[in-house]
Amino acid sequence: MKTRKLGTLEVSELGFGCMNLSGNYNAPAPREQGIKTIRTAFENGVTFFDTAEVYGPYTNEELVGEALQPIRNQVKIATKFGFAIDGTVALDSRPARIRRVVEESLARLRTDRIDLYYQHRVDPAMPIEDVAGTVKDLIQEGKVLHFGLSEPSAKTIRRAHAVQPVSAVQNEFSLWTRNVELNGILATCEELGIGLVPWSPVGAGFLTGAFDTTTRFDEKTDFRAGFPRFSREFMPLNMPLIEWLKGYATKKGATPSQIALAWLLAKSPNVVPIPGTRSEAHLLENLGASRVQLSAADVQEIDTSVTKFPVFGDRMGKDHMASIDYTA
């Protein structure tokens, strides 16, 4: 596995998003399965693992901590703060809370430092300069090594970066969520030398080709049940994109998810996708994307082709979309 830089943080060019192991897109996986999947990722070259205190909540950090403890010095761990975790999607990035929850995350992760500490969502009630300053203090104390932001605007990135250099920005980015190419996020990251970490790089499973118009999601355990793109109204309208992707992947001797990931890798050397899965077979399939080489002409062909397929429906439900930073 080749490596890439998120600022000055060197990681495998494909990371592993651990969220799905503890729910959100399904019921939590059995603990031993989760540990085995994480360790299989490492055995196949992954050195960058992503989690957050809100996943579970808390149980995902505990799982990641247990799985990676024997190989802690050979991997980089990213986690996040910023949700109030009070049964709602409220935000809380007060400095006092950051200082408290970093200690809790360190304990759950069984480590003495967090390689990359993201603000999970920008808190409009707290100046980003205060957040960046608090993380700067934690970096000086050695508890955190690098600072990140998730779903910020370009303006917020610049304001934070002026206080404490931002190593990585984590935004949703995939063949059917290309906002970062239009709103200045990708350009800002490239200008400032910040890595871009696409979450949901295979479209919450849509770009794998595993779903069709009969697919239904459990309203009790799966966020996608409330995501408009996966609704009965819009899913049929979105199918032409995946049908095209299946055909293109066949032509390239790859799978749809491999093309989706290879396209992201080819977009910029600053990009490090973090696909997640509970299936070892899907894990190995995703990692195979690093062997799919797309030329500039290939990327142009893909870009041109997907513009023919408008995406119907918002990428998340109203509550989740309400926490996105649109600061102009």
Residues in the chain: 328
At residue 328, the pLDDT reads 60
pTM of the model: 0.97
Taking CA atoms, 65 is separated from 52, 197, 204, 323, in Å, by 12, 21, 24, 28
Q: Measured between alpha carbons, how far is 77 from 25 in angstroms, rounded to an integer? A: 22
Q: What is the dihedral sign for C-alpha 51, 37, 44, 299? A: negative
Q: Measured between alpha carbons, how far is 37 from 44 in angstroms, rounded to an integer? A: 11
Taking CA atoms, 42 is separated from 14, 19, 170, in Å, by 11, 16, 21
Q: Which of 25, 55, 118, 248 is catalytic?
A: 55
At residue 294, the pLDDT reads 98
Q: Measured between alpha carbons, how far is 76 from 49 in angstroms, rounded to an integer? A: 6
DSSP assignment of 2-61 equals -EEEETTEEEESS-EE-GGGGSSBSSPPPHHHHHHHHHHHHHTT--EEE--TTTTTTHHH
Residue-wise pLDDT tens for the chain (328 aa)? 999 999 999 999 999 999 999 988 888 999 999 999 999 999 999 999 999 999 999 999 999 999 999 999 999 999 999 999 998 999 999 999 999 999 999 999 999 999 999 999 999 999 999 999 999 999 999 999 999 999 999 999 999 999 999 999 999 999 999 999 999 999 999 999 999 999 999 999 999 999 999 999 999 888 899 999 999 999 999 999 999 999 999 999 999 999 999 999 999 999 999 999 999 999 999 999 999 999 999 999 999 999 999 999 999 988 889 999 988 6
- Helices and strands counted in the chain (H then E): 12, 9
Which SS3 state, helix, strand or coil, does residue 161 take? helix
Q: Measured between alpha carbons, how far is 285 from 117 in angstroms, rounded to an integer? A: 28
Closest C-alpha among 211, 204, 210, 202 to residue 288: 202
What DSSP designation does 150 have?
A: E
**One CATH from 3.10.580.10, 3.60.150.10, 1.25.40.10, 3.20.20.100 for 3-321:** 3.20.20.100
| Residue for token pair 């970066």 | 161
pLDDT tens track for 41-68: 999 999 999 999 999 999 999 999 999 9
Tokens of residue 127, six digits: 């100046």
CB 266 within 8 A of CB 252: no
Task: Determine whether 25 is an active site residue.
Answer: no
Q: What are 77's strand-pairing partners?
A: 49
Q: What are 12's strand-pairing partners?
A: 3
Residues 6 or more apart in contact with residue 87 via CB below 8 angstroms = none
Q: What do you get for the CA distance between the two ends of the chain, in Å?
A: 38
* Residue 320: φ, ψ to 5°: -70, -40
CB 203 within 8 A of CB 177: yes
Taking CA atoms, 266 is separated from 47, 130, 227, 259, 300, in Å, by 20, 35, 28, 10, 11
pLDDT tens track for 57-112: 999 999 999 999 999 999 999 999 999 999 899 999 999 999 999 999 999 999 99
